[in-house]
Structure 1
Amino acid sequence: MRVAIAMAALAAGWVTPACAQDEADAGRWVVQQASTPDHRFRVWTFVSRDALAAADKVEVVHRATGVVVQHIDGIGGMGMHRAAETLLHVVDVNFDGHPDLSVAAGDGGAGPNNTDNFYLYDPRTRQYVFHEVLSSLTQVVINPDHSITSSSRGSCCSHLSETYRFVGGQLTLVASWEESLTADGAWIETTTGRLRGGKMRYQVKRRRPPAELSGR
């Protein structure tokens, strides 16, 4: 899903890839506003001529010594309308008491379908580890009740919301809601899912759409 959204956004001109930034800006380290008790962060940032900021890599700096303790490469973020010093955020994603990182990766434009790269702190190695599944989700929100929600919009008539929790250290889908207009425009289908007995169980309901959607 994330790749398709990103390609659509690029094609529509909503976002600019890091490789297409203004050649006059060869990139620079930008100290981020977010920090942890142990670490400060610098992001190698490209800023285009139309003020779109893109994150390319991160340096994790130990607060007490000023030594760079980790390099995070390969972010390749798309240019977006954000202040360069706010491309990285600190949040406890998996609720283990250790601050994790989210780095702005893509802005889906009208979707909005924005994406972030998530790096979870491993206290054993003292490194931030890329979480591929979480980073593939769009519009991620970390909630106070220890759930994580992701939502997306495929068009004016297609919407999706998913709820996840970390169960035994694994990101697990526990609920979903999807609503879309059928191809013939005759029905709005709503599909809800719940995790029960270790499996997702789904229920589909149909209703007639408003006249402006059905075209009748």
Structure 2
Amino acid sequence: MAENTWLVVGLGNPGAQYAGNRHNVGQMVLDELAARLGANFKTHKTPSRVAEAFLRPGGPKLVLAKPNTYMNTSGGPVSALLKFTSLGVDRLIVVHDELDIPFDTIKLKQGGGHGGHNGLRDIQKAVGSPDFTRVRVGIGRPPGRQDPADYVLKDFAGAERQALPNLLSDAADAVEAIVDAGLVAAQQRFHAPS
């Protein structure tokens, strides 16, 4: 692949019954990116659906991928996609839901632990490194004593659904900013001053 190529993976679970779940927000962001770039997802030889597009004419190429496996087994498809595209983890951006960030907030980072996120855990194990870039899309903590595992497998609530298009747009903007300007510049743009 061209040297200015990025693999962008949106995490989630396959199937229509999961499409609106909080856990699938990573794949929702990839749908937003594909729509912006006029790209369509197609079945790929790796266990994923893939769409390819240039960020702009002559600009960076994005390989957008949604694994066809369940969240907890995302590593195999991501590893296969890296091999297929001949890219290293330095060119991998993973977009995923994050319980520890308030809803409607985006945080960007490279490397680090998986924080109990089974999709990230499986990717780190499969690719042999935690040093990929993450676009962490805040979904907030479950209310009361609701089990986090149940919470992530529920659709966004009414007020969240109204704000969701802006959140998806912001996360897609963040991916574009990482590719275009680098992680530090993207963090300066998307991380609110404390």
- Normalised by the shorter chain, which TM-score bucket? under 0.3
What's the TM-score once normalised by structure 1's chain length? 0.22
Structure with the larger helix share: 2
User: Quick check: which has more Rg, 1 or 2?
Assistant: 1
| Larger RCO, structures 1/2 (Cα 8 Å, 6+ apart) | 2
